[in-house]
């Protein structure tokens, strides 16, 4: 029997949150005919307009077939849709084998209480809001996708494709998922723990007065980058510097330094033959074990595993 995949959308949904996963399952069908059947769902059915202005035709949720997998899209419309009581009730009553969200679709699941006590992610811009509105959710903003039991959540927009490929891999095996990725000409597969964005972009890019400092840090990752050192470079007291930095950037100086170190370390791990020990020393981790622990927190994999994966994919 084909696996029935329902994709739930609402007015002002992000269209790529829907068509990205939809295309992934369509392509999987080419390699394994009969593997999937897909259906687009909405609260009331009919044509639903995306934030891009393109409508998609949907089936009302009260007419939905029995679902193997339910994927909730994200988009600007979540700000309204998350308050729709009938939708939340339907989510709670639904019993798919897998319950998933893309991007800010996590807000709809959280509003229905389905993420309470679970690890979850969403688009990095809205992660803080998700954590604030739903304190029972364990929000992890630095993830492409997270699986906690039967509930899967993913980061923004294109991460829905990564999520769909992970679902295909679970259903049909890694080889089929890899072929789907090749057919779609997308990276196979960004590990779920990989960071969502470049560290400098995440930390404000050029839109913050601390941008020159962040650029300097990235060029001096081998140095001892304590709060005192960074504060002195900004001609500020450590206390005022820390407060201003967190207010402007959203994370502590130590966290920002680690993100920048991890981004460069990952690039070197995946693209070079330089020994892991030398990379750790050159980027201020001091020892491989400290870098390994940082990789596990940020990417869900140790450096050696990420290097092997990169070599396999480039072979």
CA distance 11 to 60: 13
Backbone angles phi, psi at 77, to 5 degrees: -70, -10
Q: 3-state SS of 290-306?
A: HHHHHHHHHHCCCHHHH
CA distance 223 to 284: 6
The token pair that represents 3 in the structure block? 């696996």
Question: Which is it for strands 3-8 and 36-42: parallel, antiparallel or unpaired?
Answer: parallel
Nearest to 144 by CA among 126, 130, 157, 131: 157
Cβ atoms of 15 and 54 within 8 Å: the answer is yes
Torsion of CA 50, 144, 104, 109, to 10 degrees: 120
How far does Cα 162 stand from its chain's mean position?
9
Largest Cα–Cα separation, the chain: 67
Cβ of 147: how many Cβ atoms within 10 Å? 18
**Catalytic pick from 100, 103, 219, 234?**
103
Beta bridge partners of 55: 49
Question: Which is it for strands 69-72 and 119-120: parallel, antiparallel or unpaired?
Answer: unpaired
103 assigned to active site: yes
Handedness of CA 134, 138, 144, 148 (dihedral sign): negative
Which residues does the annotation mark as catalytic?
103
């Amino acid at each position: 029997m084909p696996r029935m995949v329902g994709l739930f959308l609402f007015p002002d949904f992000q269209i790529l949150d829907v068509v990205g996963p939809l295309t992934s399952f369509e392509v999987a069908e080419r390699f394994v005919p009969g593997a999937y059947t897909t259906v687009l769902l909405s609260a009331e059915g009919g044509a639903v307009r995306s934030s891009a202005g393109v409508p998609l035709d949907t089936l009302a949720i009260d007419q939905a077939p029995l679902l193997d997998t339910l994927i909730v899209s994200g988009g600007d419309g979540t700000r309204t849709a998350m308050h729709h009581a009938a939708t939340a009730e339907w989510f709670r009553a639904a019993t798919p084998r897998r319950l998933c969200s893309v991007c800010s679709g996590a807000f709809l699941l959280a509003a229905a209480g389905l993420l309470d006590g679970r690890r979850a992610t969403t688009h990095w811009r809205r992660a803080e809001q998700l954590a604030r509105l739903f304190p029972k959710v364990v929000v992890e903003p630095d993830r492409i996708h997270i699986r906690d039991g039967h509930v899967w959540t993913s980061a923004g927009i294109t991460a829905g494709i990564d999520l769909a490929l992970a679902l295909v891999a679970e259903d049909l095996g890694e080889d089929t998922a890899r072929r789907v990725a090749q057919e779609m000409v997308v990276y196979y597969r960004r590990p779920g723990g990989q960071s969502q964005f470049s560290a400098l972009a995440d930390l404000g890019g050029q839109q913050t007065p601390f941008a020159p400092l962040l650029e300097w840090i990235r060029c001096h990752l081998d140095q001892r980058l304590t709060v005192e050192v960074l504060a002195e470079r900004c001609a500020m007291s450590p206390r005022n510097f820390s407060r201003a930095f967190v207010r402007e950037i959203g994370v502590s100086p130590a966290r920002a330094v680690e993100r920048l170190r991890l981004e460069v370390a990952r690039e070197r791990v995946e693209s070079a033959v330089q020994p892991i020990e030398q990379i750790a020393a050159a980027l201020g981790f001091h020892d491989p074990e400290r870098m390994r622990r940082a990789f596990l927190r940020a990417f869900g994999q140790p450096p050696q595993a990420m290097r092997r994966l990169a070599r396999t994919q480039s072979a």
